[in-house]
Amino acid sequence: MKNSRVFYILDVFQRRENAGFAIPEAMFEFLPLVWAIQLEMSFSGE
């Protein structure tokens, strides 16, 4: 389930890149999501 969430984020990232968004701009947008996932994983003991 956690893997599919990561793949979903990567999929959205790839689509945005294809739509002409700059990578750095998109990265700043995804940082909070990545941080939230890491926090959630640390709470579940992984």
Residue 11's pLDDT is 78
Global pTM value: 0.33
User: Is the pLDDT confidence value at 38 over 60?
Assistant: yes
Which residues span the domain enclosing 31? 2-43
What is the spatial distance between Cα 26 and Cα 37, in angstroms, rounded to a whole number?
17
Domain count, the chain: 1
User: Is the pLDDT confidence value at 23 over 70?
Assistant: no
CA 1 remoteness from chain centre:
14
What is the spatial distance between Cα 12 and Cα 21, in angstroms, rounded to a whole number?
11
Residue 25's pLDDT is 66
40 Cβ contact list (under 8 Å, min separation 6) = 2
